[in-house]
Amino acid sequence: MGGRGASSSSSSRAYDGKIQLQSVGQVDARKAGNLKVGDIIMYNFGSTAKITKIEPSKTGKTFNVTTKSSESGYIGKRKYGADRLVGIAETEAKNYREQQLLSIRKGKRR
């Protein structure tokens, strides 16, 4: 499977590629246009956030994605191009230490 995999709610969906994240390594990724509410996305250094809302633009070329941080609970918005690859995590990490342990268990720590 490689990388961190998919969230349990969407594990049957295919990936669109892989991306390289700092301090994590290669992770499976989906195009922003293929993301679904409930997916868990991963950023550099292993932080994760759960997608709570997706709003396509009028043209469908971009998506405004609202996420809730797994660590702090912060709710934020990001704008992604439809073809932008976004890293997908298998599980939510609640804090930095847990993120590091998950990375080590998956053999992705360098």
Q: Which domains does the chain have, with CATH numbers?
A: 8-105 (2.30.30.30)
Q: What is the pLDDT of residues 33-92, one digit of tens each?
A: 999 999 999 999 888 999 999 999 999 999 999 999 988 899 999 999 999 999 998 766
State which H helix or E strand residue 105 sits in: helix 96-105
- What global pTM score does this model have? 0.73
In angstroms, the CA 71 to CA 48 distance is: 7
Residue written as token pair 């609970």: 73
Higher pLDDT, 108 or 104: 104
CB 12 within 8 A of CB 27: no
CA-CA-CA-CA torsion sign (21, 26, 28, 30): positive
